[in-house]
Amino acid sequence: MAIIVNLDVMMAKRKIGAGELAERIGITPANLSILKNQKAKAIRFSTLEQICRVLDCQPGDILEYAEEAEK
């Protein structure tokens, strides 16, 4: 996937655990794990908004575009 989710980095910076973050943004820990492990195929604006609100950051701090290696 060309989009990298840097949620781990922001969580470490804000010193917040996965369980607490999941609870505060209103998604299940399983869904948060999908997002953290780069397995998500899409993210809702509402989820992104909640993540940015709780972690006090911008979408660009969480999502990053990286050129994919040619197959």
Partner 1 sequence: MNHNQPSTACFRRSILLSQGLLALFTAVVVFLDIRCQWFWEWSFDSGILGTVRQSDKYLFLGCLFGCSLPAYVLLYSMHILLKRVQHGSVFTPENVRLLRTVSLCCFLAALLCLVSGLRFPVLLVITVAAGFVGLIVQIVKNVFQQALCMKDELDFTV
The contact set with partner 1 (CB under 8 A) reads 27, 31-32, 34-35, 39-44, 47
Q: Which is nearer to partner 1, 46 or 56 (CB)?
A: 46
Q: Which is nearer to partner 1, 11 or 32 (CB)?
A: 32
Least distance (Å) between residue 65 CB and partner 1: 18
Least distance (Å) between residue 27 CB and partner 1: 6
Per-residue exposure over 35-69, b if at least 16 CB sit within 10 Å of its own CB, e if not: bbeeebeebeeebeebbbebbebeeebbeeeeeee
d(CA 7, CA 62): 5
